[in-house]
Amino acid sequence: MRTATPARRAPYPNLIGTISALPDRREFLSTVAIIAVTAAGAALVGHYYGEVAAALIFVLGITIAGAFGGLICALAAAVVAFLTYNFYLTEPELTFRLATGRDVAPLVIFNLCAVVTGILAGRLRDHAEAARDSNERLRSLLDLSRSLQSALRQQDIAATLSGFAARTMGGNAVLLRRDQGQLAPVGSDGLAAATLVTAEAAIADGETVETENGLIHPLRNGDDIFGAIVLEQAPAQKARRKVDDALLDASGNIVALAAERALLSEQMTERHAALRAEELKSALLSSVSHDFRTPLTAISASASSLIEYRDKLDAETSKRLLAGIVEDCERLNRYTANLLEMSRLEAGGVAATLQVLSVAEMIGAALQRVRARTPGRLILRTDCSEDLLVAANPALFELVLINVIDNAILYSPTEGRIAIRTEKVGGRCRVEIADEGEGIPTTELERVFERFYRVPRSEVAPRGSGLGLAIARGFVEALDGTIEALRPGIGDKGSCIVIQLPLCKATGP
């Protein structure tokens, strides 16, 4: 059913509003006990010290009843005190009649004092409760705001809202947002069709709507209503615990801000991803057009020469052309492998094929393949005194080492040295690959690990694919390791790539 939005309660209850809130069972029984003890004490004191002392005892009891049970309890205590005082302590005793007209004034004054004292004590207690409720409301809203600061997705906001409603409103809250024009719950299995229809009506009218199981509160962002909170309460819980309108409004505003922030964050992430994808696409097309076309052109030229001039070429020239074809094919193969492994890293396919590997053996296997292509290069190797073991994908780890070593060879002179050093640093294996080349500029030490990025050099300088170090970083970070570029490398020349990976437990302490 649909009802109007309840009227807002004042920060401090007025007299009528307070009287409408009846005391609970505990407060009622406590008030009865206080009145009984007060009456007995007043009778005893009045017997020895007279009516004035008894009246003061009654005033004290009324004050205690008001402070403990509120205004209704204080007024009830005042009425009982008036009747008891008149019946037992004024002449004639055991009757409500007064002996003379002069006895009316003290009785009326006592009655007024009792009522005023009860009202003041009750209002003071009710105001204290209102302040306590207000502080509790503010604390709850502050906790909600803090929790929503770390909620980056709509599902996280819905989960935080559900927990908040369970603690403060005694029910389950569901966040509704529009998805492709349809109102749908966020992070929930679903709601009844009737509830969604009612929510649509609440959003259209911009008013809170009560339902059989709770209520539906629209979410506003300025003048725009973009969703709603559906609060569901069990019948017993709904009868026992009324929803605080001010708390509902404030929490709704906080949730609305968080939901809009999350939506903007998602949109920014999507736009950033689209821009990165476009940049990657452009870089990939540029790289492929260069790195594939160059060896393919060389292969085509060499093959055409062999076919067209096979009878005119001597054996040495034919052998050189064939060797060039093989070299360019290997280059294409390495570049294709790098592209495939880069895609595999981005898809998260590393952890599924991890094995315990010896770092020394993997470096040896990588050097064997590198030396087969560059037999004249001087590569120095310094291994750790103990066998260092890491958990890695063997093929990808070898490819990473080859890429870094090839990078060092490519950007260093033919007579330059390449130094490979391994050592144990704490619980990690440290691999250093240094060269005597031109070196990486200090401002580019971090950027060299970006995909398809190449350090600006002269036109005659060799150029790589821009994927080798990017693959190395992706592989190392996937294994909870680190990789960095430093300078200088050997002596005061070149650069040094440092890879650190966590050691396996099989490695000695």
Same domain, 353 and 498: yes
Same domain, 493 and 366: yes
Residue 141 in domain: no
Same domain, 311 and 398: no
Higher pLDDT, 179 or 262: 262
CATH number for the domain spanning 372: value is 3.30.565.10
CATH number for the domain spanning 250: value is 3.30.450.40
What's the alpha-carbon Rg for the chain, to the nearest Å? Answer: 42
Does position 223 have pLDDT exceeding 80, yes or no? no
Q: Which two tokens stand for residue 221?
A: 């962002």
Residue where the block lists tokens 């649909």: 2
Q: What is the pLDDT of residue 139?
A: 84
Residue 307 in domain: yes
Strand, coil or helix: what is 356? strand
Q: What is the pLDDT of residue 500?
A: 93
Average pLDDT over residues 203-214: 76
Confidence at 207, pLDDT banded by 50, 70, 90? confident
Average pLDDT over residues 202-225: 76
Choosing from 135, 168, 202, the residue where a domain stops is 135
Higher pLDDT, 442 or 479: 442
Q: Which two tokens stand for residue 384?
A: 């750790």
Same domain, 323 and 429: no
Does position 7 have pLDDT exceeding 60, yes or no? no
Q: Which two tokens stand for residue 16?
A: 């009528």
What is the rounded CA–CA span in Å between residue 373 and residue 298?
18
Average pLDDT over residues 326-338: 77
Residue 508 in domain: no
Q: Are 341 and 396 in contact (CB under 8 A)?
A: yes
Residue 142 in domain: no
Same domain, 405 and 494: yes
Q: Which two tokens stand for residue 295?
A: 């060896």
Same domain, 354 and 497: yes
496-502 and 482-486: which strand pairing? antiparallel
Does position 15 have pLDDT exceeding 50, yes or no? no
Residue 143 in domain: no
What is the rounded CA–CA span in Å between residue 298 and residue 501?
39
Residue where the block lists tokens 């959003």: 203
Same domain, 373 and 496: yes
Average pLDDT value for the chain: 75
Same domain, 160 and 79: no
Range name among 4-13, 36-45, 125-134 with the lowest pLDDT average: 4-13
Percent of the chain with pLDDT over 90: 8
Q: What is the 3-state secondary structure (H, E, C) of 218-253?
A: EEEECCEEEEEEEEECCHHHHHHCCCCHHHHHHHHH
Q: What is the pLDDT of residue 430?
A: 93
Choosing from 216, 246, 265, the residue where a domain stops is 265
Residue range 386-395, pLDDT digits in tens: 889 998 878 7
Same domain, 298 and 328: yes
Same domain, 131 and 163: no
Q: What is the pLDDT of residue 497?
A: 93
Measured CA angle at 90 (ends 89, 91), to 5 deg: 125
Residue 42 in domain: yes
Residue range 364-382, pLDDT digits in tens: 988 988 888 788 888 888 8
**How many CB atoms sit inside 10 A of residue 154's CB?**
19
Q: Which of 339, 421, 323 is nearest to 373 (CA)?
A: 323
Cα end-to-end span (Å), the chain: 72
Residue 282 in domain: no
Same domain, 371 and 387: yes
Same domain, 259 and 309: no
What is the rounded CA–CA span in Å between residue 64 and residue 74?
8
**How many CB atoms sit inside 10 A of residue 462's CB?**
8
DSSP state letters, 273-340: HHHHHHHHHHHHHHHHHHHTHHHHHHHHHHHHHHHHSTTTS-HHHHHHHHHHHHHHHHHHHHHHHHHH
Does position 80 have pLDDT exceeding 60, yes or no? yes
Residue range 343-355, pLDDT digits in tens: 665 555 555 467 8
Residues of the domain holding 299: 292-343
Residue 7 in domain: no
Q: Which of 341, 417, 329 is nearest to 374 (CA)?
A: 417
Q: What is the pLDDT of residue 183?
A: 74
Q: What is the Cα 367 distance to its own chain's centre?
A: 45
Percent of the chain with pLDDT over 70: 74
Q: Are 134 and 243 in contact (CB under 8 A)?
A: no
Choosing from 327, 343, 359, the residue where a domain stops is 343
Residue range 399-450, pLDDT digits in tens: 888 888 988 888 888 888 999 999 999 889 999 999 998 888 888 888 888 8
**Number of structural domains found in the chain:** 4
Q: What is the Cα 250 distance to its own chain's centre?
A: 21
